[in-house]
Amino acid sequence: MKTLTVSAICFSALTLGACAATQSAGGGVQTVRDGFADAATAPLEDLNLRRDAIPTVLLQAQSAPYDMRNMERCPTIAAEVRRLDDALGPDLDEPRPQNGSLNSEIAADAAASATLDAIRDTATDFIPLRSWVRRLSGAEQHSQQVQAAIQAGLQRRAFLKGMGMQRNCAPPAAPSWFTPRG
C-alpha cells in the first residue's frame, strides 16, 4: 500500500511538472505570436515609416533636467519619479520582482525572445546598405533623439531622488534603500 501511495505521488508530481512545462511552452508561443508583427515590420522603422513616440515626461526631462519648479514637497517629487519610472522602467536601486517563475517559464521566455530577435534580424537584413538607409530616411536621427531623451530621463530621476533624500522624503521620492530620519 505504501509503495502504491509513493507511486501515485510521484506520478502526480511528474504530471504537474509536465503540465507546467507545457503551459510554459504555450506561454512562449503566445509571446512569439504577440511580438511577430512588430518583429516582421522592423524594416519600417529603418525606412522611418514607423517610429515610436518619445514619452512627454522624457521630453520635459530633456528640456529641463534640473528644474525644481513645483517640486518642494515629497509627494510631488514622488509623483514625478513614478512618471519617469513608467517611461523608463524600474530604477537600478529597485529590487527585481520575484514573480515565482519556473525555470521552464524562464527558458520559454528566453526562447521566445531569441525567436523574435531572429525574425527582426532576418527582416532587417533584406535592406541593402541598411545604415545608409537609416541615415537618409531620418530613422537614425530619431533613434538618437530617443536615446538622448532616455538619458535625460535617467538623469532627472537620479537628480530628483537626490533632492528627495535632501528633503528627507521616503521612496520613491528617494532611493529605495533610503530611510527618512524621524
- Cα–Cα dist 171/181, whole Å: 13
* pLDDT tens digits along 67-108: 999 999 999 999 999 999 999 999 988 776 666 556 666 677
Mean pLDDT for 164-181 is 94
More confident residue, 57 or 125: 57
* pLDDT in the model for residue 8: 40
- Cα–Cα dist 20/23, whole Å: 5
Prediction pTM value = 0.61
Residue 154 has pLDDT above 80, yes or no: yes
More confident residue, 71 or 11: 71
